[in-house]
Each structure stands twice: as structure tokens, then as C-alpha cells.
Structure 1
Amino acid sequence: MESLEILTESVLNIFEEFSIGRRPLNAATLKEAFSARKEIQALLQPVLNASPAERSEEVSGSDKMQPRIPLPQAATPKNATTADQLSGLRDAFLKILKNLGPLIKGEHEIQLTRLQNKINQCDSFLQFGLIGELIGTLVGKIIDDTVGRMDYSNDFLVGLSNDLYKLGDQLLSFQAYNKDTHQLSSKFNDDLLTNAHDMHSIFDTGKSLQDIKIHFASKLFAISNAIQVKNQTDEVRAKEADTKIAELQSSLNTYNQEILQIRDRADSLEKEVLLDALTEINNRRAFDLQIRENLRRFHRNGEQFSLVLIDIDHFKIVNDEYGHKAGDKCLQEIAKVIRTSLRKSDFFGRYGGEELIAILHGSNIENALEVAEKLRLRIVRTRFLYQDKVISITISLGVTQVLQTDADPETPFIRADNAVYQAKSLGRNRVCAI
């Protein structure tokens, strides 16, 4: 394995350990993690053994940055030039950011894009050292956000569990109350039946009319008293039942409000997870989910679709000449133009950096080529203004359609990516298909 591949894999493993273990990410813990890796120490040894003059030589050649902790060079073949080393290091850092992509959402997506642009502009090991610190800071924020979402979910589940237990207790209490009420009614009915039976049986005793009258008066008094007590008890219990029902209704209303809040929160989280913060269109994560579903439908039902991968030509030059704010504004406007040019049923999102991608449902490659050419012309004819400056923008597009041999989403995407590369090789501002 080459030195840069070893470095890349080690850095990714370190970040994964921080994420799984929820360890605090700072300079001290990161240094400790790097020091514990033998493979990294082996790569750093040549620079650590270098003289101070050799280490400061790189710093003196830079007029843009103050001396920071330099990123040591990995051991490379003797015939490798500094440019080759910087190119390899650039590829390694971009690979790290690409692997972090699925974990990044919201405002961090903008930071990721800017880091990618900075990496492409790096021309010294010192600058890569600074980029390494920025990546470490970004990873720390991602870990904090992830832990925060986990804590929120845990708190919600604990609260929901407590609410359900409370609701269960209320229902059990209401059930017990109804059972008591039924028992009291049964006892009252039994007492009435007993008194009525006694009144009926008095005629079989042969007693005098006066005795029967006294007996009837006694039983009627007992019945009247029982009815009065029953009415009073029913009135009290009716009030108690109203109170319990009101409490239950209040609890249900509270739970309903909490469910609505959770639904709103879920919608908000879904937007954070599946929307690109800068362009407000779908992001890479949404694309991965969508193309898997499209591929599944294609193999099951034969539902055809095509991919159109869009790459903004010379976007680095736009950022260099006009600034990253201008680049962000152009990216937003390009996304808006393309979004309004597609059907509502088509998927459109930002794949990463200056790459956009569309999934055209029900379209074969001929239809997709027509759509791609229409998009290219619309961008060419659109005037992009930033602070009264006209910025010329063109795009290169790669088109492919899904095939029966496509076993995974990566296969059609690679074809579209190769088509974009072909378009750029032929001079950019064109559409190619594979």
C-alpha cells in the first residue's frame, strides 16, 4: 500500500474511533491519537528527523500564512517530485472529505465545499497542515451534532415512554373507578331486591294488617334512604368521573400537541438531512436514496430512467477571480435555472462541490440527451451578475441510461462521470453520452 493511502486510511480510522467513542476532538486528543498509530509515526519519521532549517524552508517561501505546525511528508520514491507529493496529498485529503460527505448536513455542507476549494488551491505542505486542522475542527463539529441529535432522540423516547406510562395509569385508574361504580350499583340493586322480597313475603306470615303496615313502612323507609344515598353517591362519582375524563382529555391533547411538534421536527430534520444548505436542492444523501429506489423499480417493473451529471466548467477560476461568495451565488443561480427547466417528477440535486445531478424518470438516453442540451443552452444564455460584474458560466454534461447489467447504483453513475470527463476532454461546454 502506498504511503498516502496508508495516511488516508489511518486518518479515517482515527476519525471513526472519535465518532464511535464520542471522544472530545481537540489538538491534544488528536495528537495523542496520531502518536498512537505506528504507521503514521513511520511516515512522519523522515520529517521529524529533519533539521530546523529544512523544516522552516517551506514556511519562508509562503507570503500568505504565518508558521503553523507543518504537515510532515510521507515517505515517497526518490524520483518523486514535490509537485507529485502535493498532488498525492491533495487526492488523499479530497478522499477524506468525500468519505465524510454522507455524515455532513446543514451548514457543514458549505464548510465542506469551501474546504474542497481550499485543498484544490493548496500549493505547499504548510497549507496542507492548516487544512488538516480545519478538517479536524469540522469532524469535531460533526461529532457534536451527531451526539446532540442522539441525545435529542433519547430524550424524546424517554419522555414518550413516561407519557405512555402516565396514560396507562390513568386508563387503569378509570377502569378501576368504573368497576367500583358497577359494584356499588349491583349492591344497590341487590338491596332493593332483598327489601322487595321481604315486603312480598310478609303476606305469607299471617301477621295482622297493622304489623304488615309497620313492616311496609320500615322497608319503604330503608328503600327511600338507600335511593337517597345512591343519588348522593352517584352525584359525587359523576363529578369524579368528569374530573378523570377531563384529565384524560387534557393528557390526550398534550400528547397530540407533542406529536405535532415531533412531526414538525421530523420534517425539519428531513430537510436538514436531504437538502443542500447552499442551493436548497436535494443533496448527495437524497440522491443515494433515490437512485437505489429507481434501480429497484427498474429491475422489478422495468421503469426506465436516465442520469444527467452536470459539472460547472472552470469553477475554480470563478472562485479565484471573484471570490467564494460569488461562486456560491453562481452555484445557487445555476441550480435554480436547472431546477425550473426539469419536470417536477424528475429528481435534481447537488452531488458535491460544483457537480449537480438529475434523474430523469421514464427517459431513455435519446430523451436525456435532448434535456441535457436544453440545460446547457439555458446556462450559456443566462447572464450571471455579481456586484455589477458579468460572470460567464458554461457546463459540461454526461448522460447515460440504466441498463439491465447495472447491479448497483455506482455503475450507471460511473458511466455518467466518464461521459462528463469525455465532455471536458473535448473542450467543455458540451454534452456527451455513454
Structure 2
Amino acid sequence: MSEPTEVEGLLRALAPQVLGALVRRHGGAFDVCEDAVQEALLAAALQWPRDGVPANPGGWLATVADRRLVDRVRSEAARRRREESLASATPQSALLAPAADAPDPAADDSLALLFLCCHPALSVPSRIALTLRAVGGLTTAQIAAAFLVPEATMAQRISRAKQTLKAAGGRLVPPAGEGGAGRLGEVRHVLYLIFNEGYTASGGEELTVPRLAAEAIRLTRLLLRLAPGDAETAGLLALMLLTDARRPARTGPDGAPVPLDEQDRDRWDRELLREGLELIAATLPAGRPGPYQVQAAIAAVHGEARTAGATDWPQVLALYDLLLRFDDNPVVALNRAVVVAMVHGPAAGLALLDALAADRRLARHHRLPAVRAHLLERLGTDPAAAARAYREAAARTASAPERRHLTARARRAEDGVNG
């Protein structure tokens, strides 16, 4: 995925506003409205770089999308004789409205649209795909490329998601009260997953998908603007900024991952670090911290250390202890074992891995043998065991850069056996 152009960035910013306006006007027909907006975005992507951005780009998109929607409905009605069913779903006056009477995108329905794309009836992969397409303004081809699946597969996923929403009666209305808080948490989770896939791709030839991580940050900024008092959303944004700041130093010249303690910290993005540190410093004292705020605080400790040796590992360990109270997550426990090794020595960290090995959620995860190998290598008493663990981790990962890195570590450990 190449870096977005200025026009493409504008289109993605306008996409949720135009879609929300169209859905609001046409009685909640999300599926056909979303298709119409995508067609309008494509038309703008082809025309604006050539002819220039119109004076009212949002109005231009809304007008074109409305025309495409009306044309599509009329065509389907004529071909399939579905006038009555369409009339019951969408007001006839809207279907026949002149293009000049297009929906006004000035009213921002982006928060309601985020809630709709993360509807409880949808699977997590469907929520991610629909959010990136409907709110992010990415094409199906771009989303498919980011997640390393065929475009036809992603198109089917998005189509099924829209049909599921239709069957579930999903509406463009943000839930209120406790329901709203719960749905806000689901939106945060989807954005967190999008960022993680962009920061460390689960498969393929590249370690990162920078544009996917950037899109997650952009959408989280949008969410914080729409819910400015939500401390966990602020914590999530701080976490993303502090983590993404390390990305320039995360890979070597060959694309292989560089561990945190070996990174050239002068290559970290100082502007992202500054913004992330200021955001979490302002957020933590405001109330009871949640898991995203705690993770951001951990990232802040790393971000403040000018060298790996200067890291306040006891503070990091205390924060991981707090994080585990929110969620008995084996990956969090695995990361904590690494921190325990930094504070109390590698033998103490290795002792924690035996219990984690019995957790079925980590049964095929490459991180468990990778951590074991790292701690065995640090302990230095059994380099052959470290090499075997590295090779086991390499066999489990679907990421080519990770596999090359782990294989190289295995060879280095084997050199220690033979040396």
C-alpha cells in the first residue's frame, strides 16, 4: 500500500461524512448507500487530480453518490420489478429527488457510522473490513492487499457484513447509556487490531504495513474528536503514537525485525514520541486508568529511556501487574515474563513460561518459543535448547521477516554450541 496522496487523504476524511448523510437521507439503506459512496470516491480519485478539487468537495461527493444511488435503484427496480419493496425501504421522494437536492454532508455522523460498522452481529474480521471501507474510505483492493487475501475474498466479506447489518436492522444511531459505552469499547478494539496488523503484519513478506497503522491512528484521532472526554480512547491514541514512533528503527536494511533493546533510538520519531507522552501524561491523572492507558504508560517508560539500559524495568513490571488485573491475557503474561527476566534474571522469566505453555490460546503462537529461546540464550547454559526453540518459533510464524530473523538467531545460538 503506497502512501496516500493529498487528494486521497481528503477523500478518506470526507467518506464517513458523505456516507452518513446518504444513509440518513435514504432511510438507513446502508448497503446501497455504501456502494454509491465508493463509486463517488472512485470518480473523484480519477477526476480531481486532473481537473482540480472542487470548491465544495463534500457537496460534490454527496451529489455524485446520490445520483449513483438513484440510478442504481431505478435500474434494479426496472429490471427486477421491485418498486414496492424498494419504496418501503426508501422514501419515493428520495429516489426521485434531483441531483441538486443531494444530501448535506455538513452534519457529521462519523461516530454513529463507527458504531454501525462495529455492530455486535458482525464478526471481528467483518468489523475491521467494514470500518476500513466505510469510515476509512479504502477500496476493497487496498484492504485485501493489507490483509494479504484475494480481492474477491475481501469483497465477499464486506458484502456479507452489509447483508448481516441489513438483517440485524442496524441503524445510524449511536447507542446511549451503558450500551454506548460498550459499543465504544468495541470500536476501540477494532481500531487497536487494525493498528497491530499494520505495526506487525501477521503474515507476508513485510514486517509492517505502515499505511494500515497510519489509518488506525487517523481513525482513533477521529474517535477522540467525537468522544473527547473518553480517557481510554485518549490512552489508545497515545499507545499507537508511542508505539509507531519506534517504527523507523524496527527493521534493518534487509527488512528483518530489530528487537527493542537493539534499536537505534535516534531513529525514533521524536514528534510522535512527544505527542504520545504529552497525551498520556494529561490522561492518566484524569481518572481511573483502563488497559489502553496502562499499555500507553508502558510504552511511555520505553519512550523516555534514551538507551535500553536506562529503562525503568521495575516500573514496567508494576504496570504489567496492573495490566493483568484488567485481562487475564496470555500474551500480556508472556510479555510480563520478559520483564520479570529483566528485573530478576532470565531463570525467573523462564519459570513463568511453563505455566503459559499449558494455555491452549498460545498453543501455536510463535511468540512462546521465541521468548523461551531468548531467555535461554540470555541464561547461557544451554545454547542447543535455545537454538531448538528459535527454530520452533520460526516454523510457527507466517511472517517471512520474522522467520528469517528467528532462523538467524537459531544459527547464532548453534554457533555458541559449536564454538
TM-score interval, smaller chain: under 0.3
Greater relative contact order: 1 or 2 (C-alpha under 8 angstroms, separation 6 or more)? Answer: 1
- Give the greater-gyration-radius structure (CA): 1
What TM-score comes out, normalization by structure 1 length?
Answer: 0.23
What TM-score comes out, normalization by structure 2 length?
Answer: 0.24
